[in-house]
Structure 1
Amino acid sequence: MNSARTSPPGRTVRVRAPGKINVFFRVGPLRPDGYHSVASLYLAVSLYEEISATSTAAPGNTRGNTVTSASGRVNTAKDGNIVVRLKGTALNSEGPLAVPLDERNLAVRAARLMADVCENAGAVRLEITKRVPVSGGMGGGSADAAAALLACEKLWDSGLSREEVSHLAAELGADVPFGLLGGAAVGLGVGDELTPALAPSPLHWVLVQADFGLPTPEVFRQLDRMRMADGVEPVVPGQVDPAVLAALRAGDAAALAAVLTNDLQPAAVALAPQLADVLAAGKQHGALATLVSGSGPTIAMLAADEAAALELAGKLAAEGHNCLAVHGPVHGAKIVSDVSR
């Protein structure tokens, strides 16, 4: 590593990356590598994670300190040459939704992976602002990883192409490449074989967030148990339903509502039966369709247009639901600032 070429202390690159919903999700059999074959239609939506990567003169010596800020609880920890600071409106730093700050955190792993391939890498402080629900089925951790890759690549001037960064993203997890790509995309294999899909018109959704998480591996295991009990032999899904792609191309919310599919939804509802009431409440208040987002427990509700989404969010909020109106598709991980002190 050539430390003479590292970024000067105080340079900060800020990147934001979107959460996603799966408007179509077929799950095939368990593969020898421990993953499931899938066919997915990812849609990036306007709920963003944000990472600031700041070059530092030394890695620092903070571990486990906790302070309180206006945006919620903030944790700081050190992992080698990486100091991590965590905050955000989606943050719950205690209990099962605690976000790890060590190598289990995808953003930390992304920074370490980029450091391995950058001769200019130096000590860095990562500040992660979380807005996507933790363990909510919206790929928040994958968005963090995509943002961290892009931020550190820029901070250390790696010279890697976007395609090379995407290959690194695939090493971190199946959803991370989509965090870089954004928009709408078909995902095959384990979800990492991406093909952009045409979606020229925005679609409007209401996200209903839970106060608990559902670990993705457990939801997949539950699906496997339910299929075994029912004698279902899943097949490898080879494509996304063409009707889904046609509805996206046309920007036709009503047509899309008729073909929304998520194989993980029965498993998520089996693990968290209260989700069934939320799904029903959305339909009762005018949603065109409701479904569990990914592995859940976040519920995505499709609305006819922006006004309908805002009205739906208002009705659900009045009943005590934690909800937010969003739209998609939106861009993938994007640098929003690059400044030096």
Structure 2
Amino acid sequence: MYKIGIVGDGYTAADLLRLLAGHDEMEVVCILSTENVGRRVDALYPQLTGFTDLVCEESNLDNLIGRCDAVFLALPHGLSAVMAMELLPAGIKCVDLGADFRLKNAALYERYYDKIHEAPELLQEAVYGLPELYREKIRGTRLVANPGCFPTGAILPLAPLLTQGLLQAEGIIVDSKSGVSGAGRTPKQSSHFCEVNEGIHPYGVGTHRHGPEIAQELGFAAGRPVEMLFTPHLVPMNRGILTTIYARVQPGVKAEAVHEVLEEKYRGESFVKILPDGVMPHTKWVYGSNILQIGIYADREKDRVILVSALDNLTKGASGQAIQNLNLMLGITEGKGLNFPGVHP
């Protein structure tokens, strides 16, 4: 039984505890907090009553070192890097659910996150945590950069097509809609009920921090820079992300080849599902699950494709994928604790 620590007590930490309650090879032995030290976790999240008796401890690394085999860093950007610098030499594997290790370029991180990177020497070591693309690298690393929720929904449909040279690397449009839980649990005006109910609006237009993350990974897949536009929107639902992607196929490539390549790439994958022709995903179908669904429309006359993906932003977009990554890092069956469908209706 591997001993696991969680740093942070927000929504992603709660989802980690929900999922790990059914995991028979990992035991969460401590959860660290800054605002809720001394409070029981099931008082913060009553849905966990009967599944954990953990009490939030002070965010001191001494509470992890010597107690944990691995740690989930469920923290805002800028806080994980310093912790990883101390945990890794102590032999503790780390999965960072924040943004500190996602971008390989420290200058790009500093530009988008307005913060000097505290551990640039770890950027090349960290493995980007999309198991369907980087499974073997994840098995051999001690540090995983868990992807952002929007990037997961954009990269998994596009990367295989760019790698195979089916799509033009210019003019890709990624349009995403997210539930409010993506903004976290900390109260803020933009996520108040009256601000989001009965409305939808874009935010971070042209400046959202997940934009360069998506572009980085698509560029790696294509073998050259990719021209892409990304726009996120906030919709009045609790959880889920629906992403619609518009792209053109390369001259001479038949649009229907897109379906063939994606089917081949994800055949046998437990957590990426290609839907039948004419079926488009719904966030309700993946609610609470670690599954990403992809629907495909191929315009045979205009050589265009529309890819639509749906995922739960807190599960495949965060905590579920983090567990998937740690399973691989620890040599556990990849899907342990995650093999269940979404909740619908």
Superposed pair shares fold, TM > 0.5: no
TM-score (norm: length of structure 1): 0.26
TM-score (norm: length of structure 2): 0.26
More strand by share: 1
